[in-house]
Amino acid sequence: MTKPNHKKFLEKLNNAIDSFVDNSHNYNKTIIISHNDADGISSLKLIQNVLYKLHLEHDYFIYNRSSSWSNYLKGILPKSSEKKGALIFTDVGSSLEELVPIIKERKEDFYILDHHEVENYCEFDKIPENLYFVNPTIYNFDGLDHIAGSTLAYMFAKSIDPSIIKYGWLTIIGIAGDSLRSMDMLKSYNKEIYEEIRDEEVIIDREGLILFGSMHETIKNGLKYSILPHVKNLSGESDDKIKEFLTQNNIIPNKKVIELKSSEIEKIVSLTNASKGHYALLPQKQGILSFAFEHALLLNILSFKNISSALSIIQQRNITRYAKEMYYDYIKTLSKNLKKISKDIPHLETEKAIFIDAGNGKIPPSNWSDTASFCSVNNLLDPNKMLFLGGLEKKTQMMKISIRCSRQYLKSNKGVGVNQVISKIKDSLGGMGGGHKLAGGIRLSIPSYNQLKENVDNFF
C-alpha cells in the first residue's frame, strides 16, 4: 500500500479551516448533515459545539443514505440559493458524482469532511470553487484504522477553537464505533488524537481483558455476551457452562470484568481466544455509557431504530430504560447468532466464498446484516473467503444477502473487496445493492441467487 501523504491531506484540511474561519462571520445560516451512526452523531456534536462557540445559528439533518442526494437535498436546501450560507457534511460518504452537479448550481459554501473511500475520484479534477472537499482516503489513509469521521471533525473543530478538546470524548465514541478495535490498535491520526485527549484527562485509558459489548458487566455476563471477541465455547452459551468454567479457574463469576486481577486475566487469556488490550472510559458518564465502545454500540443500535433517542442519549449521563432494553436485546441475540454460525448452521464453501442460508428462522432477517459483520470482524469463518449470508425476504420474495470480507482478505486480494464483487454480480445477474470494501448487500431473485451460488468464484 502507498504511504499516506500527511502534507497534502493537512493542506486540504487547513485550506477548508481557513476558508471557514475567514467567511464564518458572513454565514447567517449553517446546515450540518451527518450519518446515522455513532461516528456520524459524534461528528455532528463536535461541529455543533464549534458553531455554538462561533455563535453561528444552524440546523442539522441525519442522512441514512437510503435516498439519492438530489432527492434528499431538495427537502433541505432553500429554494433560492444564498451566498451567505454554509453546509457541512460529516461522515456521510463522498458521492461526488451526485453532489458536484448540485453544488455547482448553488451559491453557499460546502464543506465535506469524510473518511469513506471515494469512487472514481480522479474523474473529479474539477471541484467547484464553493466546495471544500476533505477526504484523507485520497491521500492513502485508511478510513478505519487511521482516521474516523469524528477524528476528522475534531481536527477541523479544534483548529477553529482549541477549547473543543474538552469535547474530545465525542471523538473517542466515533473512533470506538467505527474502528471496532481495542484502543491500542489505533494508528495515525486516530492514535495521535486519542493520546492528546487522554493526556488532557478528558477520557481515561485502561488496560484489561477486552470483552467488547459487555465491558460494564460481571465476568460471567461479560463472557456470555461479548461480541468482540466472540469467545469460543463461552459466548452465547448457558450460565451454567460459563460459571463452571470460571469456578474451575477460581474466578468469582460475579466479579466485574474491569475489576479482574491480572492473574485472573492471564488465566482467561491463556484458556480462551479473548485477549488483553486498551479501552476508553468516559468519566463524565455513568454505567454503561461510561464505556466508549459500549456507548458507541448503543448509538449504532439506536440510530437504526430511533434516531431521536440516539441524539438525546449522547447528551445524557445515564442510559434510559428504553435504550437499555434495546441494548440487551441486541447483544443477547447477536452473541447467540454468532454461536449458531460457528457451531450449528451449515455453510457452503467454494474456493473463494462461503454461503450461509440464515433463512427459515435460523437467524431473524433483521439480524442478518450485523451477524454477518461481527462474524467477519471476529474471523469466525475462513478470513480468506468472502461471506454471503442471508435468505428469502418474505415481503419481497427476493433473496436478501449481506456480503462481508475481512481486512486480511482485502490485503491478500489487492484491495478488491465487497463493492466490486457486488458490481460484477449486478452486471450479470441484475439485482439491487451496493456497499464498500468490507461490507455490502444485494437483493436477488431466487433464480439469480441460485446461479450466483453455483458460479460464485467467477465473480472475483
Give the interface with Mn ion as residue ranges (CB under 5 A).
39, 91, 149, 178
Grid coordinates belonging to 453: 451460488
CB nearer to Mn ion: pick between 109 and 178: 178
Task: Compute the least distance from the CB of residue 120 to Mn ion, in Å.
Answer: 20
Measured between alpha carbons, how far is 388 from 354 in angstroms, rounded to an integer? 6
DSSP-assigned beta bridge partners for residue 209: 276
Assign 3-state DSSP to the chain and report helix, strand, coil percentages, each to 5: 50, 15, 35
Cis peptide before 229 (omega within 30 of 0): yes
Of 147, 309, 277, 211, the C-alpha closest to 300 is 309
CB nearer to Mn ion: pick between 114 and 357: 114
Of 187, 132, 164, 196, the C-alpha closest to 43 is 164
CB nearer to Mn ion: pick between 35 and 216: 35
**Per DSSP, which regions of 94-237 are E strands?**
109-113, 131-134, 204-209
CB nearer to Mn ion: pick between 130 and 179: 179
What's at 246, amino acid-wise? L
Q: How far is CA 284 from the centre of its chain?
A: 23
CB nearer to Mn ion: pick between 91 and 109: 91
* Under 8 Å between Cβ of 331 and 214: yes
CB nearer to Mn ion: pick between 112 and 363: 112
Task: Compute the least distance from the CB of residue 194 to Mn ion, in Å.
Answer: 16
HEC per residue, 229-278: CCCCCCCCCCHHHHHHHHHHCCCCCCCEHHHCCHHHHHHHHHHCCCCEEE
Task: Compute the least distance from the CB of residue 376 to Mn ion, in Å.
Answer: 17
Task: Compute the least distance from the CB of residue 328 to Mn ion, in Å.
Answer: 25
CB nearer to Mn ion: pick between 152 and 228: 152
What's at 316, amino acid-wise? Q
